[in-house]
Amino acid sequence: VVSGFLAHAARSDAVTTNAARNTSAIPTKPKKKPRALTAQECTSWLEQHAKDENAVRKDLLDITVFMLATGVRIGETIGVTWHEVDLDAGTVIVDWNVIP
């Protein structure tokens, strides 16, 4: 983004050079490959949430079950409204993503 902005500024003579062009990427650690929870991990997770009064009060169990059943991410989960839910058909349309 910055490089593109500075390139435009250089073409428009707002700056003399694009300083970002001479920079290199910041080295990062390799990320762990994502993996799915095992059936036992899912069961354990749900059991722990069901026993936790705070988690139940905050509907974390419901959110967790929804995410496990649909495979959607947290932002997509909390973006679902009743307009996207069809209980008769058993479907949910995921059109929104909440970004904190």
Residues 6+ apart with CB under 8 A from 10: 16, 17, 18
In contact, 5 and 12? CB cutoff 8 Å: no
Q: What is the pLDDT of residue 79?
A: 93
Rounded CA-CA distance 50/44 in Å is 10
> What torsion do the CA atoms of 40, 46, 47, 51 make, to the nearest 10 degrees?
160
Q: What is the pLDDT of residue 57?
A: 92
Q: What is the pLDDT of residue 80?
A: 93
pLDDT tens by residue, the chain, 100 residues: 787 888 888 888 888 888 888 788 788 888 888 888 999 999 999 999 999 999 999 989 999 999 999 999 999 999 999 999 999 999 999 998 998 7
State pTM to two decimals.
0.61
